[in-house]
């Protein structure tokens, strides 16, 4: 029960941070984007529905998927591991040119 409460508090805090970040993203200081990125990381790490939502967004919008793949390639171990859990299947599969020829 304590872990469910803790998870609920973290998810609630992540949603709150995302809303605050969304409201302040238009300010000259890019604090809003940083808050939204941190909130997204918290949601992915602590919520199955958050992971599924981010996976659907990545599948639908290729620009967001490419940007998150760029972040995954930066080799920040914990962040990379968490972000890769949201990679859609099409991004996980190698392109046809990357596959070895079938004999």
57-95: pLDDT as tens digits: 888 998 888 888 887 787 677 777 778 888 887 666 555
For the stretch 23-57, what's the b/e string if a residue is b when 16 or more beta carbons lie within 10 angstroms of its beta carbon? ebeeeeeeebeebbeebbbbbbbbbeebbeebbee
- Residue 34 scores a pLDDT above 60: yes
pLDDT given at position 91: 61
Task: Give me the mean pLDDT over the 7-26 stretch.
Answer: 89
The pTM (predicted TM-score) of the whole model is: 0.69
């Amino acid at each position: 029960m304590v872990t469910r409460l803790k998870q609920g508090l973290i998810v609630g805090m992540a949603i709150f941070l995302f809303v605050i970040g969304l409201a302040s993203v238009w300010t000259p200081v890019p604090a809003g984007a940083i808050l939204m990125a941190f909130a997204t990381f918290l949601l992915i790490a602590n919520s199955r529905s958050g992971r599924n939502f981010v996976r659907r967004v990545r599948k639908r919008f290729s620009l967001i998927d490419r940007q998150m793949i760029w972040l995954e390639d930066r080799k920040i171990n914990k962040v990379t591991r968490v972000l890769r859990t949201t990679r859609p299947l099409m991004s996980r599969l190698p392109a046809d040119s990357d596959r070895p020829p079938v004999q």
